[in-house]
Chain A
Amino acid sequence: MISLLQQFLIQTKRFWRLAETRLLFLALLVAVVAVTSVGFFTDRADRAMNVQATQLLGGDMVIVSTRPIDDSYMEEAEKRGLSTASTVSFRSMVSRGEKFQLAQVKAVSDKYPLHGEIETSAVSGGVTKATRIDTLADNEIIADNKLFVSLGTGAGDSVQLGKSQKVLAKIINKMPDQASNAFQFAPTLIMPLAQLPETGLLTAASRANYSFLFAGNEAQIDSFRSWLKPRLTRSEKIRTLEDGMPAIQQALQRGQRFLKMAALLAVILAGAGIALSSYSLTRHETSAVAVLKTMGASRWQVTKHYLSQLLIVALIAGIVGSILGFFIQFFLASYLQDFIGQELPSTGWMPVWVGLLTAQVLVIGFSAPHLLQLVKTAPVQILQRASSASKAPLLLPFISLSLSVLGLMWLQTADIKLSLYLLVAVMIALAVFWVCALLLLKLIRKLGERWHLPKANRRMALMVVVFGVGLFSLLLLTTLRSDLIDRWQASLPEGAPNHFLINIQPNEVQPLKELLAKDNTEAPIYPMVRGRLVEVNDKAISPYDAKYAENQRAQRLLTREFNLSASAEMPEGNMITAGKWFEKGAQSGFSMEQGIADNLGVKMGDKLTFDIAGQRIVETITSMRTVQWDSMKPNFFVLAAPQAFDNYPKTFITSIYLDESKPEVLPNLIKKFPSVTDIDISAILTQVRDLINKAAFAVQGIFLFTLVAGVVVLFAALQSQKALRRKELAILKSLGANRAYLRRNLILEFAMIGGLAGFLAAVLALIAGNVAAYQLFELTPQFNLGLIILGTALGAVLVSIAGYLNVRGLLSVVPVSLFR
Chain B
Amino acid sequence: MTILMSNNSIVIESQNLSKSLPVSTGEKLHILNNISLVVEQGESVAITGTSGSGKTTLLGLLAGLDVPSEGKVSLLKKELTELDEDQRAALRLSKVGFVFQSFHLMDNLTALENVMLPLELDRQSGLKLPEIRQRASEALNQVGLGERLTHLPTQLSGGEQQRVALARAFVTKPSVLFADEPTGNLDSNTGDEIIELLFAMQKESNTTLVLVTHDDDLAEKCQTHYKLVNGVLAL
Chain A interface (Cβ within 8 Å of chain B)? Answer: 3, 6-7, 10, 14-15, 17-18, 287-288, 290-301, 378-380, 382-384, 820
Contacts and interface: CB of A to CB of B under 8 A. Distances in A.
Residue picked from B104, B122, B152, B180, most chain A C-beta under 10 Å = B104
A291 B106 contact: yes
B90 A298 contact: yes
A383 B90 contact: no
Interface stretch (B32-40, B56-64, B139-147): B56-64
Nearest to A305: B121
B222 interface: no
Interface stretch (B23-31, B94-102, B188-196, B199-207): B94-102
Interface in B79-99: 85-86, 89-96, 98
A300 B123 CA distance: 13
A654 B62 CA distance: 94
Nearest to B94: A296
B86 A17 contact: no
B118 interface: yes
A331 B163 CA distance: 55
A81 B18 CA distance: 84
Nearest to B59: A383
B117 interface: yes
A293 B86 CA distance: 9
B86 A300 contact: yes
Nearest to A299: B86
Contacts of A297: 89, 93, 121
Nearest to A291: B104
B136 to A, nearest CB: 13
Nearest to A17: B108
A287 B104 contact: yes
B113 A296 contact: no
Nearest to A20: B108
B65 interface: yes
Contacts of A301: 121
B78 interface: no
A296 B89 contact: yes
A7 B104 contact: no
B120 interface: yes
A292 B65 CA distance: 12
A380 B60 contact: yes
Interface in B100-156: 100, 104, 106, 108-109, 113, 117-118, 120-122, 128-129, 152
Residue picked from A298, A379, A383, most chain B C-beta under 10 Å = A383
B92 A294 contact: yes
Contact of A294 (B57, B65, B106, B129): B65
A90 B129 CA distance: 83
B108 A383 contact: no
Which A-B residue pairs are the 3 nearest by beta carbons? A296-B93, A17-B108, A380-B66
A295 to B, nearest CB: 5
Given A297-B121, A298-B89, A379-B85, 18 more contacts: A14-B108, A14-B113, A291-B98, A291-B106, A292-B121, A294-B63, A295-B118, A296-B95, A297-B93, A298-B90, A378-B66, A379-B65, A379-B66, A382-B100, A383-B56, A383-B57, A383-B65, A384-B56
A379 B33 CA distance: 22
Nearest to A819: B185
B90 to A, nearest CB: 6
Contacts of A6: 129
Contacts of B95: 296
Given A17-B108, A18-B108, A383-B180, A296 B65 contact: no
A754 B94 CA distance: 52
Residue picked from A294, A380, A384, most chain B C-beta under 10 Å = A294
Given A6-B129, A295-B121, A296-B93, A15 B108 contact: yes
B91 A296 contact: yes
Residue picked from A10, A291, A301, most chain B C-beta under 10 Å = A291
Contacts of B98: 291, 294-295, 382
Nearest to B172: A295
Residue picked from B93, B106, B129, B152, most chain A C-beta under 10 Å = B106
Given A294-B98, A296-B93, A3 B86 contact: no
A528 to B, nearest CB: 77
A354 B50 CA distance: 60
Nearest to A302: B89
Given A297-B89, A380-B65, A288 B100 contact: no
A299 B96 CA distance: 18
Nearest to B108: A17
A401 B113 CA distance: 35
A541 to B, nearest CB: 72
A299 B104 CA distance: 19
Contacts of A10: 129
Contacts of A379: 65-66, 85, 89
Contacts of B104: 287, 290-291, 382
A282 to B, nearest CB: 15
Nearest to B212: A383
A727 B81 CA distance: 39
26 contacts: A3-B128, A6-B129, A7-B120, A14-B106, A287-B104, A290-B104, A292-B117, A292-B121, A293-B89, A294-B63, A295-B92, A295-B93, A295-B98, A295-B117, A296-B91, A296-B96, A298-B86, A298-B90, A299-B85, A378-B66, A379-B65, A379-B66, A379-B85, A379-B89, A383-B65, A384-B56
A299 B65 CA distance: 13
Contacts of B91: 296
Nearest to B67: A380
A776 B90 CA distance: 58
Interface in B204-219: none
Nearest to B132: A7
Given A296-B89, A296-B90, A296-B94, A7 B129 contact: yes
A380 B60 CA distance: 6
Contacts of B96: 294, 296
Contacts of A294: 63, 65, 92, 96, 98
Residue picked from A3, A297, A301, A820, most chain B C-beta under 10 Å = A297
A291 B165 CA distance: 11
Interface string B35-77: 0000000000000000000001101100101100000000000
A290 B106 CA distance: 11
Contacts of B129: 3, 6-7, 10
B52 to A, nearest CB: 12
Contacts of B117: 292, 295
A296 B128 contact: no
B127 to A, nearest CB: 10
B42 to A, nearest CB: 21
A581 B129 CA distance: 82
Contacts of A295: 92-93, 98, 117-118, 121
Nearest to A288: B106
A6 B132 CA distance: 13
A298 B56 CA distance: 22
B66 to A, nearest CB: 4
Nearest to A6: B129
B60 A383 contact: yes
Nearest to B97: A295
A820 B98 CA distance: 20
